[in-house]
Structure 1
Amino acid sequence: MSWVANVMISVDAADGANVEALSEWLRTDAPRRAQPEVRGVGFLKLLSSPETNHWGGWKHPECEVWAGALNHADLDALKQRVSEMPWREPNLVQLLVMDQEEGFFRMWMIRSGELRQFAPLEPHEEDEGFYLG
């Protein structure tokens, strides 16, 4: 049985190599949520490449967006890894995660050197401010 988490990350073009390294970590070393001794949960693919642009519209995207469907990923370990990466433009990093059985993506951004959530915890929250850091 699988447990899928949909993951997207948007970064500045200068940080493409960091996302490639993150993707390789996901493929080979990332721990699984219920079996941390088992490594590897999937990988990320660049969706916004001019060569393989999967986006609609007549123009090429002006951002780098990577995505993947991860299996049994320890999402806390993923967030920790993203927060520790040597990003060249950390304030432009946006991590979006929709775990299995969730109906919307949660978004994290790096501010003051910390990865902070900038989306509601539940889809029906009444709070007008979405920063949850």
Structure 2
Amino acid sequence: MSHVANIMISVETDDRSTVEELSQWLRTAAPRRGFGPGAVGWVGSLNEITGSSTQWGGGKYPECDVYAGALNHADLDGLVAHVERIAWKQPEFVQLFVMDQEQVYFRVWMFHGAKLRQVVPDGREEEVWSRDSAT
């Protein structure tokens, strides 16, 4: 059985190597959900989705550095905590997008000072689904 979470992270060009280190951590030492306390190991990795060989709609190349991955059994609280502890060169430009299984929109995390804060609130699915079931 799998438990998939979609993540993306947008960074300044100076932090490309830092994202590669994050991807390596996801491959080897990330906390794993559903495997007991202290379980760590492979949950996935990140690939750049804005490289020079990538073209988005509109006929132009993206002018940002974004990496994405579909993680399996990742402890997302552990992921957010790890991203907060990383020594980013440009933390004020880091944007972490997290969509857990059964969620339908990304939660967005950004640095405010030294802390990573969620800037898009939880609960939107419940608002919509409860409104839909009332009709």
Q: TM (normalized to structure 1)?
A: 0.89
What's 1:97 paired with? Answer: 98
User: How far apart, CA to CA, are the structure 2 residues paired with 1:3 and 1:108?
Assistant: 21
Note if contact 1:48-1:66 (Cα within 8 Å) is conserved in structure 2. yes
Pairwise CA distance, 1:56: 2.1
What's 2:15 paired with? Answer: 15
1:28 aligned to 2:33?
no
Superposition CA RMSD, Å: 1.3
- Equivalent residue letter for 2:93: L
Pairwise CA distance, 1:87: 0.7
1:80 aligned to 2:81?
yes
What's 1:130 paired with? Answer: none
Pairwise CA distance, 1:79: 0.4
What's 2:6 paired with? Answer: 6
Note if contact 1:13-1:64 (Cα within 8 Å) is conserved in structure 2. yes
Decide which structure has the larger Cα Rg and report it.
2
Q: TM (normalized to structure 2)?
A: 0.87
Pairwise CA distance, 1:111: 1.0
Q: What stretches of structure 1 move > 6 A for 4+ residues in a row?
A: none
For structure 1, the residue ranges without an aligned partner over 5 or more in a row are 126-133
Question: Which residue of the other structure, out of 49, 61, 65, is the alignment partner of 1:47?
Answer: 49
Note if contact 2:96-2:109 (Cα within 8 Å) is conserved in structure 1. yes
CA deviations over 1:78-110 (Å, ceiling 9, x no partner): 001100111111010000000000111000001
Pairwise CA distance, 1:15: 0.3
Partner SS for 1:50? coil
Pairwise CA distance, 1:34: 1.8
Count of residues paired in the alignment? 124
What's 1:56 paired with? Answer: 57
Note if contact 1:46-1:67 (Cα within 8 Å) is conserved in structure 2. yes
Note if contact 1:6-1:67 (Cα within 8 Å) is conserved in structure 2. yes
Pairwise CA distance, 1:119: 0.1
- Within a 5 Å distance, the mapping from 1:108-119 to structure 2 comes to 108-119=109-120
Note if contact 1:47-1:55 (Cα within 8 Å) is conserved in structure 2. no
Pairwise CA distance, 1:57: 2.1
User: How far apart, CA to CA, are the structure 1 residues paired with 2:103 and 2:78?
Assistant: 19
